[in-house]
Amino acid sequence: MTILSAKNIHKSYKTGSVEAKVLKGIDLDIKEGEMLVITGRSGSGKSTLLYVLSLLDRPTSGDIIFETCNTKKFSESMDSFCRLKHFGFVFQDYALLPELNALENVILPLMASMDNWEELNDIGGKVLEQVGLGDKLSNYPSQLSGGEKQRVAVARAVANNPKILFADEPTANLDSKRADEIIDLLFDLNKKGLTVVLVTHEKKYTERADRVIEIDDGVIA
């Protein structure tokens, strides 16, 4: 079953009077439970596509259909509600808040999407344990290694039990052992049923995916 569809997506950026056409007609169906890898050279439009698919940004034209909803009709607050409730995100630079410890970083987005805050610490502790950080709940980002920071980010991304996890070059700042561990974590989550959309240009990871699409100058190659 298709969980997310992109239909004829175009995205342009205007800088002054110059318009850069970045996505030039992308059609894509993401199937529930699949591990989809998006690859392509730097500047080809991978991040732009990921942001449009995940409702972090709007396409210039075209439709993003999540489950049965055409998100074109969504207001900005519906976009953010949908992201908080149904999507998880992992970015290259971890995007942790430095003034919050690991547990607090994980539970912060849950506060916006959950009514019962009494369970928050339990849920946060459990997901951090699942990523191997059960003993580092109180550590601040500055007290964690790069690999550990990215584990916190993965824990945060899955704490809301999302329908889709989006990861944009999550290993770009890690050494190869730490990178492999993060990718293994994402593949494990996918095996347990989570739909994962992963942007990477590492050959060894693209080979493991259910499906790989290559973006070349704004179109699917």
Least spacing, CB of residue 188 vs ligand ADP, in Å: 25
Per partner kind, with CB cut-offs from 5 to 8 A, the member of ligand ADP, Mg ion, none near residue 147 is none
Spatial distance between the Cα atoms of 201 and 198, rounded to a whole number of angstroms = 10
Please state the length of the chain. Answer: 221
Cβ–Cβ under 8 Å, residues 201 and 207 = no
H or E element that contains 193: none
Which tokens belong to 158? 């899955």
Interface stretch with ligand ADP, choices 41-49, 74-82, 105-113, 127-135 (CB under 6 A): 41-49
Cβ–Cβ under 8 Å, residues 71 and 56 = no
Q: Where are the beta strands (DSSP E) in 83-151?
A: 87-91
Interaction mask 153-172, ligand ADP, x per CB under 6 A = --------------------
Q: Should residue 44 be labelled a site residue for Mg ion when binding is judged by CB under 5 A?
A: no
Q: Should residue 48 be labelled a site residue for Mg ion when binding is judged by CB under 5 A?
A: no
Choosing from 4, 9, 22, 179, the residue that interacts with ligand ADP (CB under 6 A) is 22
Choosing from 39, 48, 71, 190, the residue that interacts with ligand ADP (CB under 6 A) is 48
Q: Should residue 68 be labelled a site residue for ligand ADP when binding is judged by CB under 6 A?
A: no
Name residue 13's beta-bridge partners.
Answer: 20
Q: State which residue, 47 or 71, has the beta carbon closest to Mg ion.
A: 47
Q: Should residue 47 be labelled a site residue for Mg ion when binding is judged by CB under 5 A?
A: yes
Least spacing, CB of residue 133 vs ligand ADP, in Å: 28
Cβ–Cβ under 8 Å, residues 46 and 39 = yes
Helix and strand tally (H, E) in the chain? 7, 10
Give the residues lining the site for Mg ion (CB under 5 A). 46-47
